Amino acid sequence: MLTTINTTFTDTRAGDLTWSLERGPLPALATLDLRLADNSVQLRVLGASHQVLLNGSRGGCAETVACLAGDNSPLPLGVSRRLGAYDYEFAAHVETLSAGSFAGRAQELLALVAEHPHGLAALFPGDPNAFTALLAQRQGGQVHWRTWHSYPQERRLVATRTRVVGALRAVETAGKSTPVGDRASSRCDVTFGS
């Protein structure tokens, strides 16, 4: 899903992004509610970047990557944590591109997310390459999401990748453990830096 946000782009520098699992839901400018097997996932575009809320029978988590007043801790390159019944893994990558490469990559990412049934992309006014995009998928007993944050004035893209293991309930079928729901399409698998 692609939407245009009628507000100013408030997180103006990639270096201002922070990460947290401690915040509750923040005011969202756009949301997409998904059901991935026995879990609900809400993708949220904030004026200051993104939030993903995961809730299931075994618990949940609220990931926030945003520029928030009073929080000046740097965005981590990687995090691995145990959250109740889940294993949570997060990775971030910042890429600086040439002007031509930046515009091409931004449009490629927007097209990928806008066409995907589990994708949410929000364009900010003032530049056709100013956006926040999120894409969720399920695979086996895992829920994954990817996000991209563009900073046209710096020609920087911040990409994040999150994996929550143990998020999908398994059911017994003829002696085999099989995840509930079908496997995610491989078109969700976008590599960093390509």
Highest mean predicted confidence (pLDDT) among 152-156, 171-175, 189-193: 152-156
**Residue 158 confidence class, pLDDT cut points 50, 70, 90:** very high
Q: Which of 20-24, 44-48, 55-59, 105-109 has the highest mean pLDDT?
A: 105-109
Q: How many CB atoms lie within 10 A of CB 126?
A: 10
* Mean residue pLDDT across the chain: 81
Nearest CA among 62, 50, 57 for reference residue 17: 50
**Parallel, antiparallel, or unpaired: how do β-strands 78-83 and 86-96 relate?**
antiparallel
Task: Return all residues near 194 (Cβ < 8 A) that are at least 6 apart.
Answer: none
* Four-point Cα dihedral 108, 109, 111, 116, nearest 10: 140
**Which residue ranges make up each domain of the chain?**
2-166
* Confidence at residue 1, expressed as pLDDT on a 0 to 100 scale: 84
Q: How confident is the model at residue 9 (pLDDT cuts 50, 70, 90)?
A: low
CB 122 within 8 A of CB 99: no
Q: The tokens of 79 are what?
A: 């995090």
Mean pLDDT score, 37-52: 91
- % residues pLDDT > 70 (the chain): 84
Q: What is the mean pLDDT of residues 94-107?
A: 94
- Secondary structure (3-state) at 55: strand
Helix (H, G, I), strand (E, B) or coil at 168: coil
Confidence of residue 101 (pLDDT cuts 50, 70, 90): very high
